[in-house]
Every structure is written in structure tokens, then in C-alpha cells.
């Protein structure tokens, strides 16, 4: 995106300050919740910047981000009516619609599918076929990304059951499993491997070039929630769109904002400079996933399409991971102007405030 290079510091500071002008008193904000099956990390800019920078408050919303367990935990919380939004993979949205008849709809798309198999640099595994008989460490046995492995391995003439999936979580437990020989490789999203690389680990990577054509991580809500309060849903998504633009403009400022709100998340046992470099690298890896989405889905931040969801559904169906197809249009918000409304805000003001970084 084109960034303003001419805004004076004084003007930028004025715009930044004005962007925090409250539109509603705290007791007037509508309280809503979002479930994610992970802890809040520096890469999840759309889940913390709208809060720390006041974007959701401007929309009259107070958001609580709740951590749940299991790959389907967030969806289950939405279905049960305990939260309004769920952070899940697009695969789960397809499954919910096609197999369970649930009106799970995409409110905000965070990126294309960019997971990869990370192999230690000194491993003898060179090709997908070399994974036959090997153990692959995954975040969770039912993780969204696992659905892409079967067609990938089949394209290399090996069966999915020739590779053993071992759940190893994320972080130190995964690295220990790799170093101890409990698994031969790891399978994660890009920012996860960036974290490991920042810790001195070296990998070679295997993935399909086709994966980047499919939608992945997304914020969803049920159709009835969207119909009952469309302005609230648009406001939540608009805050996320602003967060993307802010983080893309000034990732260092976004990281500092995260640290300010969550001091315990700041990397310890290293200098301020090294900690910032590490977290900026992680954030940029997450932002890169969205760059791929924008190439596919157009200028509107957070957008996707029924066509893209249909292609994802076709992949799952032809690989035997989906028993029947649903209507891809039902996976989208019914209002055809929805993503235009989400992006109806002063982008120049957000860019200016990010450049000023007046935390």
C-alpha cells in the first residue's frame, strides 16, 4: 500500500490524537467476545491493536479475546452462543456449512494458507516423498492446516497414513520433540518458524505452491449474529482493518503497542534491540500471509470471496475430507457491500498515526 511520506510530524501527531477521541463512554460500549485456540501473540495484530489503539472503542465495541483449547474449540464456543466471534481456519468454516448446516460466515480474512513443513537443515529429508515412514510434528492432531497434507503427499505418490502425525503443541515442546528425535520435521505457519529461526534454529522447507491460492485464518460469526447487529460486526471488522494498515505501516510501533499492553509478552533475556528485532520479524511474517490474500481478493482489507471458498471446498471434497458440498455463498456475509463498509474509514489518518507512533 502507498504510505504518506509528506505528513509533517505535527500534523501526524494531531491526527493520531484525534483518532482516539472517544465516540462512546465506557459504559456505553457493547461488550462482545472472540475465541481463539491460542494465546494472544505479537503476530495477531488484528486482535490487540484495535483495543490498544482505541479502534474498537471508536466503533462502540469492547472486545474480550478468550483462549480456548482444541482446533474446534473456538467454533464450538460460537455455536454455543458463548462468544460472538471465532478465530478459526477457513477449512472449519467450509466444514461447518457443508457438513453441519451451520451458517458460519467470514467477517474478516487474515490471510492465505501459508503453512509449511520445516525440516532441520542437516536432515536427509529432501522431497515430500522422503517423508514416507517419518514422524511429522503438528500443533494439534485436528489442526486446520492438517487438512492440506493428504493431497500434498498424494501428489508425491505417498499415502497420508505413510506419515505419522504427532501433536507437539508450539514453542519449546515442539523444538524438544524435534531435537530428541520424537519427530523428524515440524508443520506450522510462517511466523511460528520465524520464532524458531530467531532462536538460532535452521530449517529447509517443503510446501505446495498451490496452497497460497486458498483462504486460511479468518474471524467468523454466525449468520444470525450478523443479521441481528450488522453495525457491530462491521465495526469489529473495521477495527481489524485499521489494525492491519497500522501494523503494515509501522510494525515496530505495533510491537511496542503490544508490549505496552502485555508487558509479560516482551521477550526476556535479551537486549531491547534484539527483542524488538525478533518480534518485528514475527509480526512481518504474519503480515506477509495477508499480503497474499490481498493479491487474491483485492484492495479491501479483510475481504475474501465465495469463489475462493468454493475452491477450498473443492479441494477438501476431491481429497475425501469433505463428505458433501455446501453453498459457498452461504459462507459469506449476505450484504454484498459488507467489505466495502468495513473499509470505509480514513486510511490516510491511520497511516499518519502509525508513522507518528505517539504511544
pLDDT tens digits for range 143-196: 888 989 998 998 889 999 999 999 999 889 999 999 999 999 999 998 889 989
Q: Which CA distances in Å does 313 have to 113, 170, 323? A: 14, 28, 10
* Mean pLDDT score of the chain: 90
Residue 286 CA to residue 150 CA, distance in Å, equals 25
Who's near 9: CB < 8 A, 6+ residues apart?
356
Question: Going from the N-terminus, what domains does the chain have, and what CATH number goes with each?
Answer: 9-112+214-356 (3.40.190.10), 116-213 (3.40.190.10)
Instruction: Judge whether 105 and 333 are in contact, CB under 8 Å.
Output: yes
Mean pLDDT of 275-280: 95
Q: SS3 of 72, please? A: coil
pLDDT at 166: 97
Is residue 24 very low, low, confident or very high in pLDDT (cuts 50, 70, 90)?
low
Residue 45 CA to residue 42 CA, distance in Å, equals 6
pLDDT tens digits for range 312-359: 999 999 888 899 999 999 999 999 999 999 999 999 999 999 999 987
User: Burial level of 98, CB count in 10 A (0-12/13-18/19+)?
Assistant: buried
Matching residue, cell 500471509: 289
Residue 64 CA to residue 67 CA, distance in Å, equals 10
Could you tell me the pTM of the whole model? Answer: 0.86
Amino acid at each position: 500500500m502507498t504510505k504518506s511520506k509528506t505528513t509533517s510530524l505535527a500534523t501526524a501527531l494531531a491526527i493520531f490524537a484525534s483518532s482516539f477521541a472517544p465516540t462512546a463512554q465506557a459504559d456505553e460500549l457493547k461488550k462482545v467476545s472472540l475465541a481463539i485456540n491460542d494465546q494472544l501473540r505479537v503476530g495477531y495484530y488484528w486482535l490487540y491493536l484495535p483495543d490498544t489503539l482505541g479502534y474498537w472503542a471508536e466503533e462502540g465495541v469492547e472486545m474480550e479475546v478468550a483462549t480456548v483449547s482444541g482446533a474446534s474449540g473456538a467454533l464450538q464456543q460460537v455455536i454455543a452462543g458463548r462468544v460472538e466471534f471465532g478465530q478459526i481456519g477457513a477449512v472449519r468454516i467450509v466444514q461447518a456449512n457443508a457438513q453441519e448446516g451451520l451458517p458460519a460466515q467470514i467477517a474478516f480474512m487474515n490471510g492465505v494458507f501459508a503453512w509449511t513443513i520445516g525440516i532441520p537443515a542437516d536432515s536427509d529429508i529432501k522431497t515430500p516423498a522422503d517423508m514416507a515412514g517419518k514422524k511429522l510434528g503438528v500443533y494439534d492432531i485436528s489442526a486446520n492446516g492438517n487438512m492440506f497434507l493428504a493431497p500434498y503427499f498424494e501428489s508425491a505418490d505417498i499415502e497420508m497414513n505413510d506419515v505419522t502425525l504427532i501433536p507437539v503443541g508450539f514453542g519449546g515442546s515442539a523444538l524438544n520433540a524435534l531435537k530428541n528425535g520424537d519427530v523428524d520435521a515440524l508443520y506450522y505457519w510462517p511466523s511460528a518458524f520465524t520464532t524458531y529461526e530467531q532462536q538460532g534454529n535452521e530449517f529447509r522447507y517443503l510446501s505446495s505452491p498451490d496452497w497460497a491460492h486458498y483462504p486460511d485464518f479468518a474471524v467468523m460469526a454466525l449468520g444470525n449474529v450478523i443479521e441481528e447487529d450488522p453495525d457491530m460486526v462491521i465495526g469489529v471488522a473495521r477495527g481489524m482493518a485499521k489494525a492491519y494498515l497500522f501494523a503494515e505501516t509501522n510494525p515496530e510501533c505495533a510491537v511496542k503497542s503490544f508490549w505496552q499492553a502485555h508487558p509479560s509478552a516482551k521477550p526476556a533475556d535479551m537486549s531491547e534491540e534484539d527483542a524488538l528485532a525478533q518480534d518485528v520479524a514475527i509480526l512481518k511474517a504474519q503480515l506477509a500471509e495477508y499480503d497474499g490474500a490481498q493479491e487474491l481478493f483485492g484492495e479491501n482489507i479483510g475481504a475474501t470471496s465465495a469463489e475462493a471458498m468454493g475452491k477450498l471446498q473443492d479441494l477438501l471434497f476431491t481429497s475425501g475430507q469433505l463428505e458433501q458440498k455446501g453453498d459457498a455463498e452461504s459462507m459469506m456475509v449476505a450484504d454484498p457491500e459488507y467489505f466495502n463498509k468495513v473499509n470505509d474509514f480514513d486510511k490516510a489518518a491511520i497511516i499518519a498515526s502509525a508513522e507518528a507512533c505517539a504511544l
